Amino acid sequence: MGDIQGCHQPFENLLEKIDFSPSRDQLVVLGDLINRGPASVAVIRRLMALKGSVHCLLGNHDLHGLAVASGLRKAGRTDTLNGLLQAPDQHELLEWLRHQPLARWSQGVLSVHAGVLPSWTVHQTLALAGEVEAVLRGPDWLTFLDQMYGNSPSVWHDDLKGFDRLRVVVNALTRLRFCTPAGEMEFNTKEAAGSAPTGYVPWFDVVGRRTEGTTVAFGHWSTLKQPPRTDVWALDTGCVWGGGLSAMRLNQDGSHERIQVPCPQAQTPG
């Protein structure tokens, strides 16, 4: 399932449309669970209640929400985090959030929030995500959040260390849209795939990408239409902006189908 971003009612509508059963089904949510929509707390509580039947990834808005709630970052003009900041069970909600992963491999699908750098294999992607997860769940998580922001380094090198290493991993998994064939990331362009700056391409179009042949499911890119290919599933369809909330159902026979519900109107910050 793509980015919910605090849109609780469309989330419930989509669960109903796919006939989701916690005792039978497994749900992977591709990050950006919160922020910009009107009901982030309700979304988190619902996801927590689903327990082992749901697997949530962290997106850039989730990490930002943790930083704001921890006093390390000021809320932005379009953030809708007041409900989370004022919730009586804020500690439990934040603890649950910071223990979610950044990547998942299941049913032959690699799931991330944003993208995968061209030099990374599936195994390396999961291992690097695990490095960030370990820090985020550990005693130095606040220091990590304080050092998380920034666009540099913009290129992955295996010998990167410390917060530079973690920042590249976070930026790739939660912010990536365009990169060069050599893997240099660009973060200013947020329009559709055809708006790539000179020398850059959508990360999934890099020739020789080491995850070619692996199905990758991702969200994050609400202006991106589903590419005309079967090995990438773009599932952020802009629910928070008045689009739809989308999911890809994987059937037992190996087939899959896209299912969507509308958001009744664009959300307004509050």
Tens of pLDDT along 39-87? 999 999 999 999 999 999 999 999 999 999 999 999 999 999 999 999 9
166 belongs to a structural domain: yes
65 in any annotated domain:
yes
User: How many domains does the chain divide into?
Assistant: 1
Residue 265: which pLDDT band, with cuts at 50, 70 and 90?
low
pLDDT of residue 266: 52
CATH at residue 223: 3.60.21.10
Whether 47 is covered by a domain: the verdict is yes
pLDDT band at 157 (very low <50, low <70, confident <90, very high): very high
**Torsion angles phi and psi, residue 250, rounded to 5:** -100, 115
**What is the SS3 assignment for 221-250?**
CCCCCCCCCCCEEECCCEHHHCCEEEEEEE
Q: Is residue 53 part of a domain?
A: yes
Q: How far apart are CA 82 and CA 140, in angstroms?
A: 25
Residues 208-246 have pLDDT tens digits of 999 999 999 999 999 999 998 889 999 999 999 999 999
Summary mean pLDDT of the chain: 95
Residue percentage of the chain with pLDDT more than 90: 94
Output the pLDDT for position 253. Answer: 86
The whole-number pLDDT of residue 254 equals 82
Does residue 270 sit within a domain? no
What pLDDT, on a 0 to 100 scale, did the predictor assign at position 129? 98
- Whether the link from the prior residue into 38 is cis, omega within 30° of 0, is no
Instruction: Look at the alpha carbons of 246, 94, 149, 77 in this order and tell me if their dihedral is positive or negative.
Output: positive
Determine the structural domain holding residue 57 and report its residue range. Answer: 8-262
Give domain status of residue 230, yes or no.
yes
Q: Which residues pair with 261 in a beta bridge?
A: 245
Residue 17 pLDDT greater than 90, yes or no: yes
Map tokens 């989701």 to a residue. Answer: 20
Position of tokens 């509050």?
A: 270
pLDDT at 160: 98
Mean local confidence (pLDDT), 101-114: 97
Q: Which residue has the tokens 């003009």?
A: 77
Q: How far apart are CA 110 and CA 217, in angstroms?
A: 6
Q: How far, in Å, CA of 232 to CA of 209, rounded?
A: 12
Q: Is the pLDDT score of 252 beyond 90?
A: no
Is pLDDT above 60 for 269? Answer: no
| Res 270 pLDDT > 50 | no
Residue 264 predicted with pLDDT over 90: no
Residue 193, token pair as written in the block = 């795939």
